Chains A and B, each alone.
Chain A
């Protein structure tokens, strides 16, 4: 049975992987996946705290985060599909219509 600290370390590692991908990658879909990884790290954090403190509200927010992540993925992917159709690219450094 892992302890709470190990769960927290796992969630921090997941979060940092997501943040690194968010900041360094240029593909829009990978950026969306990185956001999902960050949210998953937070889900692990909430579930672990909730398990170890015997409090239910952490589990509840986990379900809310899952639903919110699904909605975010839906919006993000629909925007990316639209961008691919109209602007013919999915790389964030090639989309430079606004300056200043």
Chain B
């Protein structure tokens, strides 16, 4: 079997890289900076089309466009379209950030996520992860024009992230020493012969450390609140939604293809990390007054809930992890588009106690926020409940009842911060001025996300079916080819 160089397979990535380089080149010569938004939007819509129609196949051993990666890329692109819409809305009010580079970095980061989802060897995955996270450092640091301390958040994220990449490289070194290859399927062949199980588990744990730094699981979560608070608000939703989605999907892919024989041991390793991140994320969220900081801690907890499916070491559980992250992506984009709306017209409203009696000014927005907060807390008619329910169910099915009980207990604690926001909005009283107008770029993302949250909550079967069938087809195609 020779190496195939079919350039149509990587057409999406090539177009993305060309267009973002093009934005970087011409940005200096164009006065009206909104052009970059239109280019980005057209590129992303084109990417939807391309992902659906580009042929599946391999580009050398390092890259493979297949059913799994294409489905997840489609979700990512839909999320990225909504995020670019709310970015446009945000940048109209924060003019100094409105440069072409903002969207160029966004596109580069999405290319990194794409390459990561379809990388078939660990080197490609490592490089794509760096490509995904380098632009985010700049995007956080960009906010220093309005908020000088935001440089500190960017620096923290940068230092912790580069330490994470060092840890991934240690893992790669250990795996390379024992197997002599970086290709996931070759590693899986070594593992199937029961060779070097313990050593490769240690190597995988080092890779897991690097990934959990990106996912902000607990021993490595200290950067998250600072980086989230200092980033521009749409970029926060990008870090919390898209980056985490791509990282956890790639982690599942590595486990499925490369380390399939070790998945039960990996689940056992993950138990304390996941439980601690749910507990600490939820408890620390209680005392935060800044709503973005609160959502940062809650995103630590939500990465923990998604990781519960990884503990279950079951293919159904893995598909529910993807489903959980999809629901979280939708919910977090909706929440942050409302926060963008608040930050545009009155920056102080991001402070929770000063949100009091907001419902008298904008009852519509407050109702949408109510639904999204219910979804984050996991209250029945919304998607958040269904996602949590499936994850816990998969955990109970694989006999980890005590883990599920503890996680449900921590989830009860985790309902408090969201309900507090609603209590302040609906029950507290104060006098204040609030002038606003509804933009289309605000209404479209928030209405779509709230609609999806309710639809998934009421009738989740088609959505879980899509993801489960994807996983099923992927596994069958994986294990019957060789």
Which residues of chain A have a CB within 8 Å of any CB of chain B? Answer: 15, 22, 28, 31, 35, 38-39, 42, 45-46, 49, 53, 55, 57-58, 60-61, 64-65, 68, 71-72, 75-76, 79-80, 82-83, 86-87, 95, 97-98, 100
CA distance A28 to B148 in the complex (A): 18
CA distance A97 to B148 in the complex (A): 9
Q: Give which listed residue, B127, B151, B287, contacts A82 with CB less than 8 A.
A: B151
Max count, chain B CB within 10 A of own CB: residue among A15, A71, A79, A100: A79
Contact B130 A68 (CB under 8 A): yes
A-chain residues with CB within 8 Å of residue B130 when the two chains form the complex = 68, 71-72
| A80 → chain B closest CB, angstroms | 8
| A32 → chain B closest CB, angstroms | 8
B-chain residues with CB within 8 Å of residue A42 when the two chains form the complex = 166, 169-170, 173
B-chain residues with CB within 8 Å of residue A38 when the two chains form the complex = 166
A-chain residues with CB within 8 Å of residue B158 when the two chains form the complex = 75-76, 79
Q: Is B27 an interface residue (CB 8 A)?
A: no
CA distance A92 to B98 in the complex (A): 30
| A20 → chain B closest CB, angstroms | 13
CA distance A98 to B227 in the complex (A): 10
Contact B225 A98 (CB under 8 A): yes
Q: Is B163 an interface residue (CB 8 A)?
A: yes
CA distance A55 to B153 in the complex (A): 41
Given A76-B158, A98-B225, A100-B287, 12 other A-B contacts at CB below 8 A? A46-B176, A61-B172, A64-B123, A68-B165, A71-B130, A79-B155, A80-B155, A95-B152, A98-B152, A98-B229, A100-B225, A100-B288
Q: Give which listed residue, B127, B153, B154, B176, contacts A49 with CB less than 8 A.
A: B176
Closest to B170 in A: A42
| B151 → chain A closest CB, angstroms | 5
CA distance A42 to B177 in the complex (A): 12
| B12 → chain A closest CB, angstroms | 22
Contacts A28-B155, A98-B225 hold; do A64 and B127 have CB atoms under 8 A apart?
Answer: yes
Contact B176 A82 (CB under 8 A): no
Q: Is B426 an interface residue (CB 8 A)?
A: no
B-chain residues with CB within 8 Å of residue A61 when the two chains form the complex = 123, 172, 176, 182
Contacts A79-B151, A79-B158 hold; do A58 and B176 have CB atoms under 8 A apart?
Answer: yes
Contact B152 A75 (CB under 8 A): no
Closest to A8 in B: B177
Q: Is B261 an interface residue (CB 8 A)?
A: no
| A49 → chain B closest CB, angstroms | 6
Max count, chain A CB within 10 A of own CB: residue among B123, B137, B151: B151
